[in-house]
Each structure stands twice: as structure tokens, then as C-alpha cells.
Amino acid sequence: MVGEASSSRRKRQRVPSVATEGGGEAENGGGGGDVTRSVTLFELDLLDCPVCCHALTAPIFQCDNGHIACSSCCTKMRNQCPVCTLPVGNVRSRIMEKIVEAAIVQCPNAKHGCTEKFSYVKESDHEKKCSFVLCHCPAPNCNYSGVYKDLYAHYYAKHDDSWNQFKCGSYTSAWLLLSDKVLVLQESGDGPLVVVQCLKEPQGVYVTVNCIAPNAPGVGKFSYILSYSYGHETILIEKGEMDRIQKLSFQIPEKSFLLVPNYFQGTRDYLKMKICIRRLKKDEEKADEEEEEDDEEE
């Protein structure tokens, strides 16, 4: 079974089709020989557990009335069917397990350029590392979203700020007004975007550093050192690999943050920090190769 996934998780409508292995459509009474055919589901939701709405994976259980549930939900419901209250969790739904195993879907980011196809149960895992996932512009009042490289070009063209550019391996001043909450740094030209965020709380100011990028293999990885000084004292955070996000969040961070205590800030309404961003070695080598290819093309 083949279903083309869209960006919406729920109620994904599909137009039914039947195709031969060679790519052409099968006709009634057509030709001899065995062919492998595929169909498209009207709704991929049929492959989700009706209780938790997550993708079904073996083992799948059914009650005597045919209602199905994943093994996790059977345990949580104490083996009682939520529809008819009959026992569920002992009888396997073998046909449903076969259907789920055979279901192949396109990436939800297919319309953005991803050509990957995979088992439906692996859709969630693929989305987490897909390089075509949408990334959102961190500029205030901008609703642009796109593939990360397009986002970098967009930011450079529409929001370019020569004062807030960084060069890998060099320290850069990072002045951030507490009222602004966000400082966007871009590598020279239309390079990667690094966002320094602050969040004022009763105990002090939380500061985070993230790269706007997908968590995909082959996408630039960075390390950083961020420091803040007050008088003769300095506090800093050093991270071997910068976290990557696709959209800004203004929630209190649970990890990877620098906390500037109130007494360490005084009456300032801004943070004057220094940051050094370095590209991880393997990605630095790849970046050099890409620059050489661009020079050859020119």
C-alpha cells in the first residue's frame, strides 16, 4: 500500500489509484504475467491507533468485535476495549499488522523537495531528521518559512544586519536588549542563522543559543562559547554542539542555558556578551569543499 503523506497529521485525504510495478496504471483484464500493484489510501489515519492516534506498530490487538488498539494502549486501558468494554490485548490482529508493515508513504515534506519513501511506522523518525523540514524566520513580525537554505537567503535579502554577523572561530559582541528578547547572528553572507535569546524571570535572565536548522545529517553543526562579564567577574557557557531548532520558543529552557543572576546584572536593561562560534571539524571541511566547487563554477 502506498500513501502520500501531507504536512497534516490528522485527516489526510488520499485519491485512490492502482499502479503496476513499472509505473503504469493497471487495466482490468490487462496483460499476462504477475505484477506488483499498489494502492493509495483515502485516509492514512486508518493506520493510527484509534486510542492514542500514534502510528500502529506490531503487536496490534483486537477485541471480539474487531476494535483494534496498540499494545501500549491495551496496557493503559487494563485490557478493556474503550469502544465496547470487551477484553482486548490477547488476540492479535494479524491482517492489520500485515497492512501496516506493507504501507509505504512519502515524506510529509515531499512538496518541499524530499524524495524519501519509507514504512509508515517510520514516518515520525524520518521527520525528526529530514533536511526539508520547514524552518521559520526568527525576525520579528515575519511569517516566512521554508527549507533552511532558502530561509538563510531570505533573511540575508530581507533582514540583513551587517552589525550582527559572525565569523567562525572569532569572538563577536552580542548586545541584547532584554525587551527585544532575540538577537539574530548570521554567518557572513547568506550563511547559517544563530539565535541568542533571553528570558527574564524572577531568579534572573535565561540566555540560550540555537542554530535555525533541521536536525539532519549533513547540515552544519557548530560549537560555541558565550560569556557575560560584570565588573571583574565573568560567567560563561561552553557547548560542544549547538542545539538546532526550527522555530523560536519563549518557554523557560530546561537545559543548555546561561543564567545571569539579578545581582550580576545590576540595573542594566541589556546584556553585553561575547560569543565565539566554531564549525565542527567535519562540517568545516565540507564547507571548504563547497566553496571550492562554487569557485570552479564561477
DSSP calls for 69-118:
EEHHHHHHTTTB-TTT--B-SSEE-HHHHHHHHH-EEE-TTGGGT---EE
Mean of all residue pLDDT scores within the chain? 83
pTM: predicted TM-score of the whole model, two decimal places: 0.72
Summarize pLDDT for 5-41 with one digit per residue, the tens: 333 344 444 333 333 334 444 444 444 556 667 767 7
Q: Do residues 172 and 97 share a domain?
A: no
Q: Do residues 154 and 269 share a domain?
A: yes
Supply the CATH number for residue 263's domain.
2.60.210.10
Q: Do residues 113 and 32 share a domain?
A: yes
Asked whether residue 288 carries a pLDDT value surpassing 60, the answer given is no
User: Is the backbone of residue 110 left (phi > 0), alpha (psi -120 to 50) or beta?
Assistant: alpha
Residue 282: the pLDDT is: 66
Which residues lie closer than 8 Å to 296 by C-beta, 6 or more apart?
none
| Percent of the chain whose predicted confidence (pLDDT) is above 90 | 55
Length of the chain counted residue by residue: 298
Residue 137: the pLDDT is: 96
Q: What is the mean predicted confidence (pLDDT) over 62-91?
A: 94
The last residue of one of the domains, among 101, 129, 157, is: 129
Summarize pLDDT for 111-134 with one digit per residue, the tens: 999 999 888 888 888 888 999 999
Residue 284: which H helix or E strand, with range?
Answer: helix 281-297
User: Phi and psi (nearest 5°) for 132?
Assistant: -100, 10
Q: Do residues 72 and 47 share a domain?
A: yes
Residue 289: the pLDDT is: 54
Where residue 286 falls among pLDDT bands split at 50, 70, 90? Answer: low
Summarize pLDDT for 203-250 with one digit per residue, the tens: 899 999 999 999 998 787 999 999 999 888 999 999 999 999 999 999
| Percent of the chain whose predicted confidence (pLDDT) is above 70 | 81
The last residue of one of the domains, among 79, 104, 129, is: 129
Q: Do residues 10 and 87 share a domain?
A: yes
Long-range CB contact pairs, 129-134, < 8 A, 24+: 129/214, 129/215, 129/216, 129/217, 130/214, 130/216, 131/214, 131/216, 131/217, 131/218, 131/219, 132/107, 132/214, 133/109, 133/214, 133/216, 133/246, 134/109, 134/246
Determine the structural domain holding residue 154 and report its residue range: 135-297
User: Is the backbone of residue 7 left (phi > 0), alpha (psi -120 to 50) or beta?
Assistant: alpha
Where residue 190 falls among pLDDT bands split at 50, 70, 90? Answer: confident
Is there a contact between 274 and 174 (Cβ–Cβ < 8 Å)?
yes
* Pairing state between β 2-4 and 104-106: parallel
Q: Do residues 180 and 261 share a domain?
A: yes
Supply the CATH number for residue 12's domain.
3.30.40.10
Q: Do residues 96 and 155 share a domain?
A: no
- Which has the higher per-residue pLDDT, 260 or 22? 260
Q: Do residues 56 and 190 share a domain?
A: no
Q: What grid cell was written down for 24?
A: 503504469
User: Phi and psi (nearest 5°) for 110?
Assistant: -60, -40
Rounded-to-integer distance, Cα 257 and Cα 276, Å: 15
Q: Do residues 68 and 139 share a domain?
A: no
Number of structural domains the chain divides into: 2
Q: Do residues 143 and 62 share a domain?
A: no
Q: Do residues 199 and 264 share a domain?
A: yes
Q: What grid cell was written down for 264?
A: 550580576
Residue 29: the pLDDT is: 44
Rounded-to-integer distance, Cα 126 and Cα 132, Å: 11
Residue 50: the pLDDT is: 92
Q: What is the mean predicted confidence (pLDDT) over 68-81?
A: 94
CB atoms within 10 A of CB 197: 22
The last residue of one of the domains, among 82, 101, 129, is: 129
Where residue 1 falls among pLDDT bands split at 50, 70, 90? Answer: very low
Q: What is the mean predicted confidence (pLDDT) over 173-198?
A: 92
Q: Do residues 148 and 208 share a domain?
A: yes
Residue 222: the pLDDT is: 95
Is there a contact between 51 and 45 (Cβ–Cβ < 8 Å)?
no
Burial letters for 83-122: b for 16+ Cβ neighbours within 10 Å, e otherwise?
A: eeeeebbeeebeebbebbeebebbbbbbebebeeeebbbe
Which residues lie closer than 8 Å to 9 by C-beta, 6 or more apart?
53
- In terms of Cβ atoms closer than 10 Å to its own Cβ (0-12, 13-18, 19+), residue 223 is middle
